[in-house]
Structures are given as structure tokens and as C-alpha cells.
Amino acid sequence: MDSRLLTTLSVTLGPPQKLGQGPLGTRVIVPITGGHFEGPRLSGRVVGGGDWTLLRADGVLELDLRVTLETDDGALIHMASFGLRHGPPDVIAALGRGETVDPATYYFRTTPRFDTGHEKYGFLNRLLAVAIGDRRKEGPVYSIYELL
């Protein structure tokens, strides 16, 4: 499917809240304390949010992220994305140790949806997107592509 880059989002994380194993898997809630995003039509900073992650029994990490973005010209945008992350055990273990890993060696994809009342950014209410994630030591970086 055709797509084009919408923005590249980097987030900073707070200390994870480890809730342990529940009926659906191991739940870790990761506060998002800040960050920034940059792209041809969308640039600004991350106000805050969190990622409600769930490690399933089959080793796949489900991601459920919600953040508020503030554009350089002052618009507030809600972004919510569901995603999946998984890969070979040694790669996932290296990520767990905070090492820099080639993002092509694991699967880290999300599907952001946007929602804003700001007229200039109304186009975001009317598109679907896919993000390619790169879990770096200092926090995840998402290249977000609009589905054309």
C-alpha cells in the first residue's frame, strides 16, 4: 500500500510500573514523560502520556499507547496507537538490557490514530497510519506513515 512519511516521533520514558502477571499476560505501564516529533506537516513536542504494554503468553508484546502532542503552532492532538513488538529471544533480551539493536532484526509496528479539534490539523482525523518503531536506549522512535 502506498504511504508517505507524516512525522518522526521520539518519546522519553519514566520508570516503568510493573504490575506483574494478570489473566491476559504480564502488564507493564510505561509513563511517557516527553519527547518531540518532526515532519513535513507535523512538528512539535510531546506533552505526556503512557504506553500500557502487555506481554502475551506467545511472547508478543502488545502496545497500547496514548499521548498528547502539541504542535509548534500550539495545536493539541490526541494520538492513540495499538502495536506489536516481537523478535528472536536474543534480540529481545538485548533490548531489555538497553542495548542499541538494529530495528530490522525485530518486528515493532504500530497503528496510530489521531484526533484533534484544531482546524489546521483536521486532516489527521481523516487518515490511518502505520508506524515503524525503533527501540533505542533513550526511548522509542516511531517513523509514522500516512496510508495513502
Partner 1 sequence: MEARRRDVLKLTAIAALPACARSPLVVPDSPNVKKEIAMQTRPLMTLRLDTAPTQNLGSGPHGNRVTFPITGGTFEGERLHGKVMPGGFDWTTTRADGVLELDLRITLETDDGALIQMTFSGIRDDKAEGGPYFRTLPRFETAAPKYAFLNRLLAVGRGEIRADGPVHILEEVV
Residues in contact with partner 1 by CB under 8 A are 1-5, 8, 58, 60, 82-84, 86, 100-104, 107, 109-111, 113, 122, 125-128, 130, 132, 134, 136-138, 141, 143, 145, 147-148
DSSP state at residue 57: T
Scanning the structure block, which residue is given the C-alpha cell 538494529? Answer: 102
What is the three-class DSSP state of 125?
helix
Q: How far is the CB of 41 from partner 1 (least distance, A)?
A: 12
Cβ pair 147, 131 in contact under 8 A: no
DSSP state at residue 24: T
> Measured from the CB atom, is 17 or 38 closer to partner 1?
38
d(CA 62, CA 60): 6
Q: How far is the CB of 70 from partner 1 (least distance, A)?
A: 21
Q: How far is the CB of 56 from partner 1 (least distance, A)?
A: 8
